[in-house]
Amino acid sequence: MPDLFCRLLPTGVDAEYGQPAPDRLISGDPQFTTWNVEDRDGLFAGIWQSTPGKWRISYDEWEYCRILSGVSIITDAQGTAHTIKAGDSFILRPGFEGTWEVIETTTKDYVIRL
């Protein structure tokens, strides 16, 4: 039987590496590292990190995030900028569009529901 208690830690989880699609990139050379700790039934939870840069975002999914370190600015399609830093938590709902700009390498934990 699998362990029914799971900490959101990258220990023992293979890292996945990526970056924004070229047509979404606005500036910089952001590099992503993701440790997807949970992946089941349309639910994902883990830790994500990005180096500085800026790209367009468009959400079809629901996502809860808590910033563990760093500073980013998420700007919605209407131009409202939200500066996020360690300790901040937020939800991005399906239909959210805008930009994500990493000012200082940012690490977050997340829960995504498709």
The rounded distance, in Å, linking the Cα atoms of 112 and 36 is: 11
Q: What pTM was computed for the model?
A: 0.94
Residue 31: C-alpha distances to residues 37, 38, 49, 105 (Å): 19, 22, 8, 10
Superfamily of domain 16-113: Jelly Rolls (2.60.120.10)
Domain-wise residue ranges, the chain: 16-113
pLDDT along the chain (114 residues), means of 10: 83 95 98 96 97 98 98 98 98 98 98 97
The rounded distance, in Å, linking the Cα atoms of 39 and 90 is: 21
